[in-house]
Amino acid sequence: MKRGIIVASFGTSYEKTRRLCIESIEEKIREEYSEDYVLRAFTSRIIVNKLKKRDNLHILNEKEAVQEMQDRGVENIYIQPLHIIPGHEYEKLLSLGVNVGKPLLYSDEDYEDIVEGLHISEISEGEALVFMGHGTDHESDKAYKKLEKTYRNRGIEDIFIATVEGGTTLEDIIPRLKKDDIKKVVLAPFMLVAGDHAINDMASDEDDSWKSILEKSGFEVEINLKGLGEYEIIQDIYLRHLRELMEEG
């Protein structure tokens, strides 16, 4: 076999969202590249170990996936990441010495496609959509601000992006919501899967969840618990990146 494709994501321990957000993209890749060998890899060692211990499910990490390809005699190895930004997890892939595609937010075209094509829910007057991004101490954290700016450049004023671990937090967003006289907030994850952060940190009834914090601040809150991988526009961007990678290679 001459070509192999590794579909690499951070991973998730939630079976349902794994099926909806990761396997859905893998299936599209297998369908389009039916002659090639396609493998899944998770870059999170914590999730890989948890799945092995809890479910006896062994998922390769990115290094093991490359080795598996090489052991099968695959000559040309391509990795399509399902990461959101070119941060620390993405850099793990770049260090492997094989062909690596782009994450979700990379080129201006990616940002424009998302702003134009990602439809989460209808937002009425006095309402706002607040995305929960993961965020990072990596310089690529600026991607979230750039995406929000792209919305603003399109005249879209009622979509905000905050992060769990990045430079812009929910506490930074709340004063802006109040200034705009927002009464209701729709919360949605800007993450590949609706996993721990979305279920617990965003949507739970715990005192420190985003839902609870917003309700205490006087907002009505609606939850949209769909990972980005469920949306066709997101799947299409990853497929476009893979096509571009294969054409370059």
**Looking at the annotation, which residues are catalytic?**
134
Q: Identify the three-state secondary structure at position 191.
A: coil
Taking the C-alpha atoms of 183, 186, 190 and 196 in order, what is their torsion angle to the nearest 10 degrees? 110
Centroid of chain to Cα 179: 29
List 41's β-bridge partners, or say none: 8
Looking only at the bridges linking them, the beta strands covering 159-163 and 127-133 are: parallel
Q: Which of 160, 162, 156 is nearest to 202 (CA)?
A: 162
User: Would you call 108 exposed, middle or buried from its count of C-beta atoms within 10 A (0-12, 13-18, 19+)?
Assistant: exposed
Residue 38's φ and ψ, nearest 5 degrees, are -115, 130
